[in-house]
Structure 1
Amino acid sequence: MSQTPQDPQRPAPDEGAPTPAELARAREGRVRRAPRYRRFVQVGVLLGALVGVLLVLLGPDVPTELGRGPVTVFVGLTGSLVGALAGAVVAVVADRRSTR
């Protein structure tokens, strides 16, 4: 099979372009800007962990048998869980508002 070379002056036909009949049937649409849930949850985890660690480090010194390190880790992990939940709630609220 031989292919005919295309004329360099004439542009190649665009196979993905709609036909005039398809354009006549087209309707105007709305773009829905849905939030990215993973990013909201990730930011919530980071902010929650940061707030938890700062609460322990800047708060009053609580005497424990374990020391300050394990308490910091525990409160940081708890803060990250709460932050993930808060980020997910914010994403759901943003998603509901985008459908209006």
Structure 2
Amino acid sequence: MSEQQPSPEPDEQAAPADFDAADRQVIPASVRRAPKFAPFIATGAIIGVVAGLLCGFLLPNSTGVGRGTVALLVASGFAVLGVVIGGVIAVMQDRGTPRELKAMKEAEASRASDGDASGS
């Protein structure tokens, strides 16, 4: 019988070369941290409905219709107002994202140029 040692598996031999090749092929990516609009709008609507129902039931009613009808009408109006306010807040949050993204890209570019200068 011959005493041959089993050769290492191909994956073990190629691993360092694969990591070096992967480092050269990395594509820089940036993460856009934008708010989701639906939760902002839904929260505004819920807050509007609750506030409208409270106003409709707790404030004095001088109309000939019942308190429930008045509360539903006021709640629907407040819900629309809450949706608009929630949407405006989401848009304001979203407008701040490009500045952060631009700053992140500039930082990446300066790091890449520093890395190229020190590596040469």
TM-score, length basis structure 1: 0.71
Offset, 1:23: 2.8
Q: Which moved more, 1:72-81 or 1:49-58?
A: 49-58
**Which residue of the partner structure matches residue 36 of structure 2?**
36
| Structure 1: runs of 5+ lacking an equivalent | 1-9, 13-17
Greater RCO, 1 or 2 (C-alpha within 8 Å, sep 6+): 1
SS in 1 for 2:63: coil
- Letter matched to residue 77 of structure 1: S
Cα distance per residue 1:78-100 (max 9 Å; x no partner): 11110001100000000001221
Q: Which residues in structure 2 correspond to 1:1-100 (within 5 Å)? A: 20-59=20-59, 61-100=60-99
Q: Which runs of 5+ in 2 are unaligned?
A: 1-8, 12-17, 100-120
Larger helix share, 1 or 2? 2
Q: Considering only CA atoms, is the larger Rg found in Structure 1 or Structure 2? A: 2
Deviations 1:51-94 (A, max 9, x none): 111112222x1221111111000000111110001100000000
8 Å Cα contact 2:57-2:68 kept in structure 1: no
Query: Could you say what the CA RMSD is over the residues aligned between the two structures, in angstroms?
Result: 2.4
TM-score after normalising by structure 2: 0.61
> How far off its partner does 1:30 sit?
3.2
Number of residue-to-residue matches in the alignment: 85
Q: CA deviation at 1:36?
A: 0.6
